[in-house]
C-alpha cells in the first residue's frame, strides 16, 4: 500500500510528524512519501523516504501518476483535495487537521470548506484535539472520522545527559506570531527574573515563518523589559539536536513554557517531556492528551501572569513534585504516543475506508 502526505512546507510539528510516521509505517506494509509546496527548514533534517518539493501542477501530476498511491493525506489545506482530483487522482483522500490556531479560525475554515470536503474527502483525521473533533462531528457527521494520538519515537528522541547550565533556563519554542503568544513568555520570564537573578531564557524559532509586524513588536518588548542580556534566540536548530537542549533545560532546574492560545497536538511538548524537561503550559486544548496537571506537567490560566509565576516557582522549588512530573511525563510519552499504536490505528483507518 502506498500513501502520500501533503502539506505546505516542511517545518514545525508537521515536518516532525511526517518524518516519524513515514519511517514507522514501513513496519505495517505502507510505503509513505511526502509532498510539500515550498521550501522549509525541515529539509535540513535527514529523510530516508522520498520527499517532493513543488507547487507546479505538471510536476505534481507526474508525481501522482508515477506514485500510484492508494491514499493521500492532506494536512490542513482543504483546497488541495479538489486540486488533486483535477490532476487525476482517483484514490482515497483524507483531510487531516493538526490545528488552525484560534478556535474561531478553525470553525470558519471548516465551514467555508464544506463544498470541497463534502465533494472529495473520503475521511477526516485529527490527533484527538477536542475542538476539532467537535467541529468534525457537527459539520461532517456523514464522513468517516478518525482520531488518535500522533506517533512519537521516544527511543530516538530522549533524555541526553550533558553539562548542566550554571543557571536555571526557561525555554519557548514556536513562531513569532500572535497565537503562539510569545508576549506572555517574555512577561513570565521578566517576573521570574525578579526571583531568580541569574535566570536564562532560550527561544527556539523559525524566522521564515515569523510575522514581520510581530517581529518588530517582539524586539521592542524585549528591550522595554530589559531582557536582552538573559535572552538567547536560536533559529532553525536541526531537529535531532533539540533533545540535547531540552535535556539541558530540564537539568538546569527550569522548564519549557508553552504559551499558545490554541494548539492542535504540539510536538514540542512531547519532545520536552521525553527529555525529562518539565512543561508549564496554557490549557490550549490540544495539549489535553499530553499534560495532566501536577502529574505529567503543569497548567496555568492563559493571560494570568501571576498564576503562571506561582506554578513556575512550585515547579522549580518543590523538588519532589518536580521529579514526579519529570518521571510521569517521560512514562506517559512512551505509553500514550507509542509508534506501534499509531501504526495500528493508521492501518485500521486505511482498511476501513
Q: Are residues 91 and 178 in the same domain?
A: no
Q: Are residues 73 and 212 in the same domain?
A: no
CB atoms within 10 A of CB 205: 22
Residue 17: predicted pLDDT? 95
The long-range contacts involving 65-68, CB below 8 angstroms and separated by at least 24 positions, are 67/2, 67/4, 67/33, 68/2
Residue 201: predicted pLDDT? 98
Q: How does DSSP assign 104-139, residue by residue?
A: HHHHHHHHHTHHHHHHH-SEEEESS-HHHHHHHHHH
Maximum CA pair distance of the chain? 62
Q: Are residues 174 and 142 in the same domain?
A: no
> Is the CB of residue 52 less than 8 Å from the CB of residue 63?
yes
Q: Are residues 231 and 138 in the same domain?
A: no
Rounded to an integer, the average pLDDT of 238-244 is 94
- The residue with greater pLDDT, 163 or 208, is 163
* Predicted confidence (pLDDT) at residue 278 exceeds the cutoff of 90: yes
Q: Are residues 255 and 315 in the same domain?
A: yes
Cell numbers linked to 32: 509513505
Q: Each residue of 61-109: pLDDT tens digit?
A: 999 999 999 999 999 999 999 999 999 999 999 999 998 888 999 999 9
Range of the domain at 38: 2-151+338-352
Q: How confident is the model at residue 13 (pLDDT cuts 50, 70, 90)?
A: confident
* Predicted confidence (pLDDT) at residue 295 exceeds the cutoff of 90: yes
Q: Each residue of 157-183: pLDDT tens digit?
A: 999 999 999 999 999 999 999 999 999
Q: Are residues 234 and 86 in the same domain?
A: no
Task: Identify whether 55 is part of a domain.
Answer: yes
Distance CA 110, CA 107 (A): 5
Q: Are residues 142 and 176 in the same domain?
A: no
Residue 101: predicted pLDDT? 84
* Ramachandran sector of residue 76 (left: φ over 0; alpha: ψ -120 to 50; beta: rest): left
Residue 6: predicted pLDDT? 98
Distance CA 200, CA 169 (A): 5
Q: Are residues 136 and 42 in the same domain?
A: yes
Residue 136: predicted pLDDT? 97
Task: Identify whether 61 is part of a domain.
Answer: yes
Q: Are residues 206 and 117 in the same domain?
A: no
Beta strands in 175-247 (DSSP E): 200-205, 231-235
Q: Are residues 114 and 94 in the same domain?
A: yes
* Predicted confidence (pLDDT) at residue 41 exceeds the cutoff of 90: no
Task: Identify whether 282 is part of a domain.
Answer: yes
* Predicted confidence (pLDDT) at residue 229 exceeds the cutoff of 90: yes
Rounded to an integer, the average pLDDT of 339-349 is 96
Query: What 8-state DSSP symbol labels residue 262?
Result: S
Task: Identify whether 159 is part of a domain.
Answer: no
Average pLDDT, the chain: 95
Instruction: Give the position of cell 525529562.
Output: 276
Task: Identify whether 156 is part of a domain.
Answer: no
Beta strands in the chain (DSSP E): 2-7, 31-36, 51-53, 71-75, 92-96, 123-126, 145-147, 169-174, 200-205, 231-235, 255-258, 279-282, 298-300
Q: Are residues 144 and 179 in the same domain?
A: no
Which domain CATH number covers 67? 3.40.50.2000
* Predicted confidence (pLDDT) at residue 42 exceeds the cutoff of 90: no
Q: Pseudo-torsion of CA 269, 271, 273, 278, nearest 10°?
A: -60
Q: How does DSSP assign 214-232, residue by residue?
A: HHHHHHHHHHHTT-TTTEE
Distance CA 298, CA 290 (A): 11
Task: Identify whether 206 is part of a domain.
Answer: yes
Cell numbers linked to 16: 516532525
Length of the chain: 353
Task: Identify whether 9 is part of a domain.
Answer: yes
CB atoms within 10 A of CB 257: 26
* Predicted confidence (pLDDT) at residue 285 exceeds the cutoff of 90: no
| Percent of the chain's residues with pLDDT above 90 | 91
Q: Are residues 323 and 243 in the same domain?
A: yes
* Predicted confidence (pLDDT) at residue 47 exceeds the cutoff of 90: no
Residue 286: predicted pLDDT? 86
Residue 20: predicted pLDDT? 94
* Predicted confidence (pLDDT) at residue 340 exceeds the cutoff of 90: yes
Residue 231: predicted pLDDT? 98
At 253, give phi and psi (nearest 5°): 95, 5
* Predicted confidence (pLDDT) at residue 208 exceeds the cutoff of 90: no
Cell numbers linked to 283: 490549557
Task: Identify whether 161 is part of a domain.
Answer: no
Distance CA 290, CA 339 (A): 15
Distance CA 204, CA 183 (A): 14
Q: How confident is the model at residue 11 (pLDDT cuts 50, 70, 90)?
A: confident
Q: Total domain count for the chain?
A: 2
Amino acid at each position: 500500500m502506498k500513501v502520500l502526505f501533503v502539506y505546505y512546507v516542511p517545518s514545525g510539528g508537521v515536518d516532525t510528524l511526517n518524518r516519524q510516521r513515514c519511517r514507522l509505517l514501513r513496519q505495517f506494509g505502507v510505503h509513505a512519501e511526502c509532498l510539500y509546496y515550498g521550501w522549509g527548514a525541515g529539509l535540513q533534517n535527514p529523510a530516508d523516504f522520498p520527499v517532493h518539493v513543488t507547487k507546479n501542477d505538471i510536476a505534481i501530476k507526474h508525481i501522482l501518476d508515477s506514485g500510484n498511491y492508494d491514499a493521500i493525506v492532506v494536512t490542513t489545506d482543504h483546497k488541495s483535495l479538489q486540486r488533486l482530483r483535477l490532476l487525476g487522482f482517483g484514490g482515497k483522500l483524507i483531510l487531516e487537521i493538526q490545528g488552525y490556531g484560534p478556535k474561531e479560525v478553525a470553525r470558519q475554515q471548516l465551514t467555508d470548506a464544506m463544498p470541497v470536503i463534502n465533494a472529495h474527502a473520503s475521511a477526516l483525521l485529527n490527533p484527538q484535539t477536542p475542538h476539532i473533533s467537535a467541529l468534525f462531528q457537527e459539520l461532517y457527521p456523514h464522513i468517516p472520522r478518525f482520531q488518535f494520538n500522533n506517533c512519537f519515537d521516544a527511543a530516538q528522541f530522549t533524555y541526553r545527559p550533558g553539562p548542566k547550565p550554571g543557571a536555571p533556563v526557561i525555554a519557548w519554542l514556536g513562531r513569532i506570531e500572535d497565537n503562539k503568544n510569545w508576549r506572555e513568555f517574555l512577561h513570565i520570564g521578566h517576573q521570574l527574573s525578579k526571583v531568580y537573578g541569574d535566570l536564562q531564557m532560550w527561544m527556539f524559532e523559525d524566522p521564515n515563518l515569523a510575522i514581520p509586524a510581530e517581529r518588530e513588536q517582539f524586539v521592542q518588548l524585549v528591550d522595554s523589559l530589559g531582557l536582552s542580556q538573559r535572552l538567547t534566540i536560536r533559529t532553525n536548530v536541526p531537529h535531532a539536536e533539540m533533545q540535547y537542549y531540552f535535556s539541558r533545560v530540564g537539568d538546569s532546574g527550569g522548564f519549557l513554557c508553552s504559551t499558545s492560545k490554541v494548539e492542535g497536538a504540539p510536538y514540542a511538548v512531547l519532545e520536552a517531556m521525553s527529555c525529562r524537561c518539565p512543561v508549564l503550559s496554557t490549557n490550549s486544548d490540544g495539549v489535553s492528551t499530553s499534560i495532566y496537571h501536577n502529574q505529567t506537567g503543569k497548567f496555568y490560566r492563559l493571560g494570568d501572569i501571576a498564576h503562571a509565576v506561582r506554578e513556575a516557582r512550585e515547579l522549580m522549588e518543590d523538588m519532589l513534585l518536580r521529579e514526579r512530573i519529570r518521571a510521569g511525563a517521560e512514562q506517559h510519552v512512551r505509553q500514550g504516543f507509542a509508534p506501534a499504536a499509531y501504526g495500528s490505528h493508521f492501518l485500521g483507518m486505511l482498511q476501513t475506508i
